[in-house]
Amino acid sequence: MLSAMRALPAALLLAAILAAPASRADLLVLRYGQSFSAEQTIYALPVHIAQRQGFFTREGLEFRQFFIPGGGDKMIDALHDDTVELTHVATAFLIESALKGSDAVAIATEFNNPIYSLVAKPEIRAYADLKDRLVGLADEAGTITLSIRRLLAANGLAGDGYRVRVISGTPARVGCLKRGDCVAVPLGQPQDITAAREGYRILGRSDEATPAYVYTVTAARRSWAAAHPDLVTRYVRALASAFAFIRDESNLASVIGVVMDDTRCSDADARDTLRLYLNPERNVLPTRGEIDRDAFARTIALMGDGGQLTPPLPPVELFVDAQYLRAAGVE
């Protein structure tokens, strides 16, 4: 091996050394929080791609994932109790926590403009059939529920026109629908596609009633990030590489495999999901983790419309720190 390396030209030898993975002892530990429910959905895709393709290791990071029990607010709590340094979190919960005094901020976008279908039992043929029936919704303070309530209202069902059970997590909502306890639930992809193939009815989609917004972000405490800018920038570069990998058509088979593993769906459903998400008109996936300020402002406005925020609405920059995106060459 040594003689072979000596035979390499100096430039190629240097390139080989630089390309070699760092030893475990050289890696910097970075702890990342994820919810149990998100781990089994499409929303874990960017981080899982970065893990499996070695993008974190390439950036000199020992990426450790921690699963946080509870709702979205617990993800921010994990930043404050030193369980993790970074966390996946729905934007609405970040905003809510920041307004209560947390110094957590978004450092990168994980998902834009989610598409949640209102999936109903086969016998439910129209929105009117939901009247006085039990609909399973996500957390009342989250954008999934806010957008689905807008969809229902736009189709003639005010908030008192149906009964609600709050059910956290896609797998639990699927279970409620299949048991027959709920007549309808919001499901993302590929679960809504799978349900439709099984005979369930898609009444409508959240984006019919809600303009594009920022759904999930990677968050850090502003104070911690300021003290560890190199770590944060390395993470952002790895995440940006994951999005580039997902968007490269030559990697389609690998990405489909991750979607199938994460969501336990079929090859066909994984392909349909990615076709939807990579449609430029849908703008579901960021290009490299960039934060769309206008879309973030629409998240704030959606919370205002739903009564979670009162005017005057806070500015976007209260919840965003883009310096690490700039340092990573993303913005």
How many angstroms separate the CA atoms of 181 and 165, rounded? Answer: 10
**What is the arithmetic mean of pLDDT over 82-103?**
97
* pLDDT score recorded for residue 39: 83
Share of residues in the chain with pLDDT > 70 (%): 92
* pLDDT score recorded for residue 24: 67
**What is the arithmetic mean of pLDDT over 141-158?**
94
C-alpha distance across the termini of the chain, in Å: 42
Cβ(98)–Cβ(113) below 8 Å: no
How many angstroms separate the CA atoms of 199 and 147, rounded? Answer: 24
Cβ(22)–Cβ(238) below 8 Å: no
pLDDT in tens, 2-13: 333 333 344 433
Q: Over 50: is that where the pLDDT of 277 sits?
A: yes
Q: How confident is the model at residue 87 (pLDDT cuts 50, 70, 90)?
A: very high
Would the CATH topology of 26-113+213-327 be identical to that of 117-208?
A: yes
Taking CA atoms, 290 is separated from 115, 149, 152, 316, 321, in Å, by: 19, 28, 31, 14, 11
Q: Over 80: is that where the pLDDT of 20 sits?
A: no
Q: How confident is the model at residue 143 (pLDDT cuts 50, 70, 90)?
A: very high
* pLDDT score recorded for residue 227: 98
Q: How far is CA 69 from the centre of its chain?
A: 17
Contacting residues for 124 by C-beta, under 8 A, at least 6 apart: 130, 133, 183, 184, 201, 203
**What is the arithmetic mean of pLDDT over 83-105?**
97
How many angstroms separate the CA atoms of 306 and 310, rounded? Answer: 10
How many angstroms separate the CA atoms of 113 and 211, rounded? Answer: 8
Give the CATH class of 26-113+213-327.
Answer: alpha beta
* Phi-psi category of residue 227: left, alpha or beta, with phi > 0 → left and psi -120 to 50 → alpha: alpha
Share of residues in the chain with pLDDT > 90 (%): 84
| Domain spans of the chain, in order of start | 26-113+213-327, 117-208
| E strand residue ranges, 257-305 | none
How many angstroms separate the CA atoms of 272 and 256, rounded? Answer: 10
* pLDDT score recorded for residue 71: 74
* Higher-scoring residue by pLDDT: 142, 321: 321
* Higher-scoring residue by pLDDT: 21, 153: 153
Q: How confident is the model at residue 38 (pLDDT cuts 50, 70, 90)?
A: confident
Mean pLDDT for the chain? 92
Q: Over 70: is that where the pLDDT of 330 sits?
A: yes
* pLDDT score recorded for residue 72: 78
Q: What is the reported pTM?
A: 0.87
* pLDDT score recorded for residue 6: 37
Cβ(154)–Cβ(203) below 8 Å: no
Give the CATH class of 117-208.
Answer: alpha beta
* pLDDT score recorded for residue 30: 98
Q: How confident is the model at residue 17 (pLDDT cuts 50, 70, 90)?
A: very low
pLDDT in tens, 313-325: 999 999 999 999 9
Q: How confident is the model at residue 169 (pLDDT cuts 50, 70, 90)?
A: confident
pLDDT in tens, 194-226: 999 999 999 999 999 999 999 999 999 999 999
Q: Over 60: is that where the pLDDT of 14 sits?
A: no
* pLDDT score recorded for residue 8: 36
pLDDT in tens, 115-135: 999 999 999 999 999 999 999
Q: How far is CA 225 from the centre of its chain?
A: 20
How many angstroms separate the CA atoms of 222 and 106, rounded? Answer: 9
Residue in this structure with the two tokens 């979205």, named with its chain if needed: 72
329: exposed, middle or buried (C-beta count within 10 Å: 0-12, 13-18, 19+)? Answer: exposed
Q: How confident is the model at residue 309 (pLDDT cuts 50, 70, 90)?
A: very high
